[in-house]
């Protein structure tokens, strides 16, 4: 994705990492790291030990060379369950932090933590990531890392002030198919890239926002209070690297349009009855949001939010260039210079290209990782994050890409409220996108 500048070693070592790694050399490539430094144990803590936090903790425990000195959750039951999980994995029981909303600060102030994984409700992501960076800990924060323009800038500014890395844990950037497509784009098979489409399409009302009985989960309030593309990062994760966003191109303007909100009411009327309060509730969130980004180089990206109507899971990725395109829905490609003569007006299956351009990360990943959660993407994502912590290098997804993916949330909200008016997208790189070089998932 983007060019990772050399970390501010002096400032970085002022935090807890000074105790952990002493005078390790901090650079984008980590060439100066010793063999011992590349294999040493890494001490990671998790804040937010509910369902997602427990899933990420399980993946961490499956990685080699991981120590978990401490865990944090405001709910004592979640915390105890996570502590039990670590013990059952044959590790020392982590110290627990709970009881009040400031528990995470005491947790992150520990001298023996090098990195923290943040898997709390959304509104805590930025405050906790900022505190982690100021405490000298690598911050691995679940999606979305920020909800507002100010929060996006808070992440970027804190990283630049402290030199401490922050990575949003956007696992779809690490999907096997998406990394193969990335290799194809970098080898020029699609020619000059012109356009991309992406989406997060998945009926989530009945299990993520509410349960089947209509009891709200913590994300439900966002649908009542806000009208935006509230979950753009799974859509955009692979797109940023495909299109060299923040390292050769950048978002310029974005327009967004939302449909009316009728899907949530229709779902509850169908399942709980037309007179149920949830069937009569007013929801701010439109059922489908369509955003169009124009980049600095004049390319376009269409982003769809679609989480409230009946629909199986679907990302609808499509990337198109002057020599052809890839279509994830069809699992097909059409390539001018590769498609055989008799098929030049037809689609080809993607599978042979997946095999030919399979990324080195997937080739190297063992069987345990390949069967882990989300088809192995969580394993690969955390493996690469931990490797960056271990070697004192910048993580694969940097703070600039994290903020760029998240800024779609407030930008879409503002455009929708202004009847689809174009919104200028912040340049979190402060102009450096013109000279920065891609570093995400680069193969030797």
Q: Would you list the domain boundaries of the chain?
A: 9-170, 173-369+397-434
**Four-point Cα dihedral 336, 341, 343, 348, nearest 10:** -50
Q: Residue 254 pairs with which residues in a beta bridge?
A: 293, 423
In this predicted structure, what is the pLDDT of residue 35? Answer: 62
Nearest to 248 by CA among 186, 167, 331: 186
In this predicted structure, what is the pLDDT of residue 1? Answer: 41
In this predicted structure, what is the pLDDT of residue 26? Answer: 43
In this predicted structure, what is the pLDDT of residue 444? Answer: 64
Could you give the CA distance from residue 342 to residue 2 in angstroms, rounded to a whole number?
40
Q: Residue 144: is the preceding peptide bond cis (ω within 30°)?
A: yes
- For residue 102, count other CB atoms closer than 10 A to its CB: 11
Q: What's the maximum distance between 2 C-alpha atoms anywhere in the chain?
A: 68
The tokens of 404 are what?
Answer: 């760029």
Specify the CATH superfamily of domain 173-369+397-434.
Dihydrodipicolinate Reductase; domain 2 (3.30.360.10)
C-alpha distances in angstroms, 80 versus 49, 54, 69, 86, 114?
9, 11, 14, 10, 22
In this predicted structure, what is the pLDDT of residue 165? Answer: 98
- pLDDT tens, position by position, for the chain (444 residues)? 433 333 343 334 344 443 333 333 344 444 445 666 667 999 999 999 999 999 999 999 999 999 999 999 999 999 999 999 999 999 999 999 999 999 999 999 999 999 999 999 999 999 999 999 999 999 999 999 999 999 999 999 999 999 999 999 999 999 999 999 999 999 999 999 999 999 999 999 999 999 999 999 999 999 999 999 999 999 999 999 999 999 999 999 999 999 999 999 999 999 999 999 999 999 999 999 999 999 999 999 999 999 999 999 999 999 999 999 999 999 999 999 998 777 778 999 999 999 999 999 999 986 555 556 678 999 999 999 999 999 999 999 999 999 999 999 999 999 999 999 999 999 999 999 999 999 999 986
Q: How many residues does the chain have?
A: 444
Nearest to 317 by CA among 325, 273, 309: 325
Could you give the CA distance from residue 114 to residue 352 in angstroms, rounded to a whole number?
41
Could you give the CA distance from residue 122 to residue 182 in angstroms, rounded to a whole number?
29
User: H/E/C letters for each residue in the chain?
Assistant: CCCCCCCCHHHHCCCCHHHHHCCCCCCCCCCCCCHHHHHCCEEEEEECCCHHHHHHHHHHHHCCCEECCEEECCCHHHHHHHHHHHHHCCCCCCEEECCCCCHHHHHHCCCCCCEEEECCCHHHHHHHHHHHHHCCCEEEECCCCCCCHHHHHHHHHHHHHHCCCEEECCHHHHCHHHHHHHHHHHCCCCCCEEEEEEEEECCCHHHHHECCCCCECCCHHHHHHCCCCCCCHHHHHHHHHHCCECCCECEEEEEEEECCCCHHHHHHHHHHCCCCHHHHCCCCCCCEEEEEEEECCCCEEEEEEECCCCCCCECCCEEEECCEEEECCCCEEEECCCCCHHHCCCCEECHHHHHHCCCHHHHHCCHHHHCCHHHHHHHHHHHHHHHHHHHCCCCCCCHHHHHHHHCHHHHHHHHHHCCCCCEECCCCCCCHHHCCCCCCCCCC
In this predicted structure, what is the pLDDT of residue 344? Answer: 75
Tokens 């409220």 appear where?
Answer: 417
In this predicted structure, what is the pLDDT of residue 123? Answer: 97
The CA-to-CA distance between both ends of the chain, in Å, stands at 15
In this predicted structure, what is the pLDDT of residue 373? Answer: 67
Nearest to 21 by CA among 83, 111, 119: 111
CATH of domain 9-170: 3.40.50.720
Name residues whose C-beta falls within 8 Å of residue 77's C-beta, 6 or more positions apart in sequence: none
């Amino acid at each position: 994705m983007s060019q990772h500048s050399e970390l501010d070693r002096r400032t970085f070592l002022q935090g807890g990492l000074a105790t952990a790694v002493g005078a390790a050399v901090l650079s984008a490539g980590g060439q100066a790291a010793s063999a011992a430094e590349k294999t040493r144990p890494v001490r990671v803590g998790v804040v937010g030990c509910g369902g997602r936090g427990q899933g990420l903790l399980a993946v961490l425990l499956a990685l080699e060379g991981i120590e978990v000195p401490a865990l944090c959750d405001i709910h004592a039951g979640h915390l105890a369950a996570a502590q039990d999980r670590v013990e059952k994995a044959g590790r020392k029981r982590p110290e627990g932090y709970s009881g009040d909303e400031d528990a995470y600060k005491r947790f992150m102030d520990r001298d023996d933590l090098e990195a923290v994984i943040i898997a709390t409700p959304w509104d805590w992501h930025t405050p906790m990531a900022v505190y982690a960076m100021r405490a000298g800990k690598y911050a691995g924060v679940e999606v979305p890392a920020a909800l507002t323009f100010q929060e996006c800038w808070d992440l970027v500014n804190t990283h630049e002030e402290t030199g401490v890395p922050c990575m949003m844990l956007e696992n779809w950037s690490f999907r096997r198919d998406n990394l193969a497509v990335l290799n194809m784009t970098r080898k020029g098979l699609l020619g000059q890239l012109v356009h991309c489409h992406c989406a997060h399409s998945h009926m989530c009302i009945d299990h993520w926002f509410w349960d089947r009985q209509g009891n709200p989960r913590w994300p439900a309030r966002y649908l009542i209070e806000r009208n935006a593309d509230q979950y753009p990062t799974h859509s955009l994760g692979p797109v940023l690297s495909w299109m060299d966003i923040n390292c050769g191109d950048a978002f310029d303007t974005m327009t967004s349009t939302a449909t009316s909100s009728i899907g949530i009411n229709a779902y509850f009327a169908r399942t709980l009855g037309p007179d149920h309060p949830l069937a009569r509730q007013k929801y701010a969130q439109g059922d489908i949001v369509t955003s169009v980004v124009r980049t600095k180089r004049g390319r376009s990206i269409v982003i769809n939010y679609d989480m409230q109507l009946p629909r199986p899971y679907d990302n609808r990725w499509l990337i198109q260039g002057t020599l052809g395109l890839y279509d994830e829905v069809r699992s097909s490609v059409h390539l001018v210079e590769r498609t055989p003569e008799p098929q030049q007006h037809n689609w080809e299956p993607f599978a042979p290209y997946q095999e030919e351009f399979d990324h080195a990360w997937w080739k190297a990943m063992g069987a345990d990782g390949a069967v882990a959660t989300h088809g192995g993407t969580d394993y690969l994502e955390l493996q690469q994050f931990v490797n960056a912590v271990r070697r004192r290098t910048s993580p694969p997804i940097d703070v600039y890409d994290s903020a760029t993916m998240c800024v779609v949330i407030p930008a879409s909200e503002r455009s929708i409220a202004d009847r689809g008016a174009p919104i200028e997208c912040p340049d979190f790189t402060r102009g450096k996108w013109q000279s920065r070089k891609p570093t995400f998932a680069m193969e030797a």
